[in-house]
Amino acid sequence: MHTDLILPEPDTLHPESDRPATLAFFGSDTADLFTREVAESFAGVLRENLILRRTADGYPPGFTRASVPPRPWWDTMWTRDAGTFLRELVAWGYFEHACLVAHCLIGGVARNPQDFFAFPEKLRPGKPEAGDEVDGTAAIVIGMVLLWRHLPEAHPFRGALHVFLHQPGSPVRYLRHLAERDGLIAGTGEFGPGCSLDGHYCSVVQNNLAMLALLAAAALEADGGDLATAVEYRDCADTLAEAMRWHLLDGEGAWLWGVRPGSLEPDPAVLEAPINRGTGLLNGVASMFSDVLGLDPLGARWPFAPHCLNTFDRLLSAPLRREQFEKYGFWPQWDPPFRGGLSSGPSYGEGYALQTMLLYDRLDLADKALRWLAHATHDAPPQPHYRLTRTSSCHFYERTYSPDAPGQVELEEGCGALNLVTVMEPLKIARLLLGVDATARGAVRIVPRLPASVSRIEARQWPLLTATGVVRADLTVEREEVDGLRFECRVSGGAVIPDLSIRLPGSDGPRYRSFHGVARLTVSSADGD
């Protein structure tokens, strides 16, 4: 355990006391399937992947397997995946579960040679380790800040989180150190040079996530009273964003995968590697906006938004991807020759693409992609073409394939059903449809989006972060005739929402309606101001 941080004992954290929210979609067989898939996959991860009590062979509470045994990496906890797990646990109201996971992560990371805590690609039980998995480090920082903001001030773990993130050797200060020293941050792994490629590389996705982590930590420091550090983090994030615009854009304003550290010049050997060329991971820049900055990048006039749209449109215009999407709603994660361009998955392929469609209000595309995701999950390619092992046909699985893939490429299940990040990104898609912004500061912000196959969404006991703490509410969003929406909110336990802002369709585009002291509310886009 770190000598400069005293953590509560795991026994003082009680996951059984959590009050998780539920979410249901209505209006079509797609909506029904997606409801079951989200619920059963989340429950499956909590049952099969997450360790709640120390095991006889040394797995600590909070350790979350990357995959279900005996699939690849079942005995490891991948830091990028763990960051997304933290994010979803908090957003869905599993605060005590999130504390266990964060506790395990803090206990599993070591100091690097520069005396900072920096996460490796994956953790193993009982073997604290440091590394250069920048995306893992940044995703964990974002998840921990989100957890810190949602915990009551008196919670025994809240202070430990602040100490870990604020201390001189914190992972946030390491990200700042790298950005100030090198201009762009170089990391390893799938979001560094690319999956199975060695060395360090300055990828656009990991630098964007590091920039977002600095902004999240700046908010934590400001809330904690250290305004000077908050300003330093914001300034560093701004400088990093400028370096991204300078070095990581091509001549048409779309994102490059990355550049070499030191020279900050593109390396054709990396960019043209089959695992990177035309990779859907590039949509991670667009989709990760919502992890820190909200659910409306266009309304916020985010400077990166035009580049994200250019990147998305370029990916969609690739001939095979365009053909596959028009035929099936299938979004290939890679261009040929990698897996023939006929493979994808609910995380970095279809998942990031669908999140981008939602965040940028491309609801016609999003509906097509959602239909594919729901039906491809339930109706996986049949054996003998695809030997997928799972206990429920509603479990999300790592590798999806085009209906044209059998006989063209080998169909492998890889990490298979309930691979951790494979479940987390569809959970985020479900939240984006509902539209509760878990990152909002001050007012509760809600930006619902209902594609054609979803006519109604019901959330029960959903956690809403207000200026005075978390309240729970039952929420309903329903499509009215033509293109309107109707929103209902019923706050539980006699609480009120001090300030609430909801985006609703209007004749001249979406507009925000603001309300104060909300205990019960019904509002329609057809209502006047």
Give domain status of residue 351, yes or no. yes
Residue 70 CA to residue 317 CA, distance in Å, equals 38
pLDDT of the residue at 30: 98
Residue 308 CA to residue 304 CA, distance in Å, equals 6
Give domain status of residue 130, yes or no. yes
Residue with tokens 């994200």: 308
| Structural domain for 518, as ranges | 444-524
Does one domain contain both 387 and 300?
Answer: yes
- The continuous run of DSSP H or E covering 86 comes out as helix 79-91
Give domain status of residue 282, yes or no. no
Does one domain contain both 332 and 299?
Answer: yes
Does one domain contain both 427 and 319?
Answer: yes
| The residue type at 514 | S
Q: Is the pLDDT of residue 196 over 90?
A: no
Q: Is the pLDDT of residue 272 over 60?
A: yes
Q: Is the pLDDT of residue 467 over 70?
A: yes
Beta bridge partners of 400: 344
Q: Which residues lie closer than 8 Å to 60 by C-beta, 6 or more apart?
A: 10, 51, 54, 104, 107, 108, 125, 126
Does one domain contain both 492 and 510?
Answer: yes
pLDDT of the residue at 528: 65
Does one domain contain both 413 and 397?
Answer: yes
Q: Specify whether the CB–CB gap between 157 and 95 falls below 8 A.
A: no
pLDDT of the residue at 529: 58
Q: Which two tokens stand for residue 347?
A: 């995380």
Residue 279 CA to residue 282 CA, distance in Å, equals 6
- Angle in degrees, 0-180, between the axes of helices 79-91 and 420-434, rounded to the nearest 10: 30
End-of-domain residue from the set 276, 303, 318: 276
Give domain status of residue 25, yes or no. no
Q: Is the pLDDT of residue 489 over 70?
A: yes
Q: Which residues lie closer than 8 Å to 98 by C-beta, 6 or more apart?
A: 86, 89, 90, 143, 147
Does one domain contain both 350 and 222?
Answer: no
Residues of the chain above pLDDT 90, percent: 91
Edge-first strand order for the sheet with 520-524 is 22-26, 456-466, 469-479, 485-491, 520-524
End-of-domain residue from the set 108, 129, 159: 159
* pLDDT, average across residues 249-269: 96
Residues of the chain above pLDDT 70, percent: 99
pLDDT of the residue at 1: 45
| pLDDT classification of 4: cutoffs 50, 70, 90 | low
pLDDT of the residue at 26: 98
Give domain status of residue 92, yes or no. yes
Does one domain contain both 13 and 134?
Answer: yes
Does one domain contain both 334 and 243?
Answer: no
Q: Is the pLDDT of residue 5 over 80?
A: no
Q: Specify whether the CB–CB gap between 8 and 164 falls below 8 A.
A: no
Give domain status of residue 291, yes or no. yes
Give residue-wise pLDDT tens across range 142-167: 999 999 999 999 998 999 999 999 99
Residue 218 CA to residue 204 CA, distance in Å, equals 21
Give residue-wise pLDDT tens across range 206-218: 999 999 999 999 9
| The residue type at 161 | L
Does one domain contain both 376 and 454?
Answer: no
pLDDT of the residue at 2: 55
Nearest CA to 379 out of 70, 71, 36, 26 is that of 36
Q: Specify whether the CB–CB gap between 239 and 185 falls below 8 A.
A: no
End-of-domain residue from the set 438, 472, 506: 438
User: Could you give phi then psi for residue 16, rounded to 5 degrees?
Assistant: -70, -15
pLDDT of the residue at 157: 94
* pLDDT, average across residues 37-53: 97
| pLDDT classification of 3: cutoffs 50, 70, 90 | very low
How confident is the prediction for the chain on average, in pLDDT? 95
Q: Specify whether the CB–CB gap between 337 and 274 falls below 8 A.
A: yes
Does one domain contain both 429 and 341?
Answer: yes
Q: Is the pLDDT of residue 463 over 50?
A: yes
* pLDDT, average across residues 80-101: 97
Count of structural domains, the chain: 4
Residue 195 CA to residue 299 CA, distance in Å, equals 34
Q: Look at the alpha carbons of 155, 157, 161, 167 in this order and tell me if their dihedral is positive or negative.
A: positive
Does one domain contain both 348 and 394?
Answer: yes
Give domain status of residue 7, yes or no. yes
* pLDDT, average across residues 281-297: 98
| pLDDT classification of 442: cutoffs 50, 70, 90 | confident
Higher pLDDT, 14 or 255: 255
Q: Which residues lie closer than 8 Å to 361 by C-beta, 6 or more apart?
A: 298, 449, 510
Does one domain contain both 6 and 81?
Answer: yes
Residue 342 CA to residue 359 CA, distance in Å, equals 25
Q: Specify whether the CB–CB gap between 191 and 134 falls below 8 A.
A: yes
- Contacts of residues 29-32 at CB distance under 8 Å and 24 or more positions apart, as own/partner, are 30/370, 30/371, 30/374, 30/375, 30/453, 30/454, 31/374, 31/453, 31/454, 31/455
Give domain status of residue 3, yes or no. yes
Q: Could you report how far apart the first and last alpha carbons of the chain are, in Å?
A: 56
